[in-house]
Amino acid sequence: MGSPTLEEVSSDALSLPESERAELARDLMASLDGPADPDAENAWDLEILRRLAEIDSGTAELIDRAEFRRRLRAGMSRA
């Protein structure tokens, strides 16, 4: 693994109950993300409204669930 400290922390973490391990995992993952983008929520709101407008106007390319899954699987196999 790594240093003795990392091995000790890892061992301690793995002995925690599942709910606490999940909480720790979320906290560790969040610590890798960096600071939150203050404009992200507004940008997503605008993107959602833009996409809804495309659907309403008939200009959006809509696909069914089977096609979505096919494209998703094809993309994952390339990664």
Sequence spans of domains, the chain: 4-33, 40-78
Model-level pTM? Answer: 0.49
Q: Provide the token pair at 25.
A: 């995992």
Question: Which pLDDT tens digit goes with each residue over 19-75?
Answer: 999 999 999 998 998 888 999 999 999 999 999 999 999 999 999 999 999 999 999
Nearest to 21 by CA among 6, 31, 11: 11
Residue 33 has a pLDDT of 86
Provide the H-helix boundaries in 1-79. 4-14, 18-33, 40-57, 65-78
pLDDT band of residue 78 (cuts 50, 70, 90) is confident
Band of residue 2 on the pLDDT scale cut at 50, 70, 90: confident
Three-class SS state of 73: helix
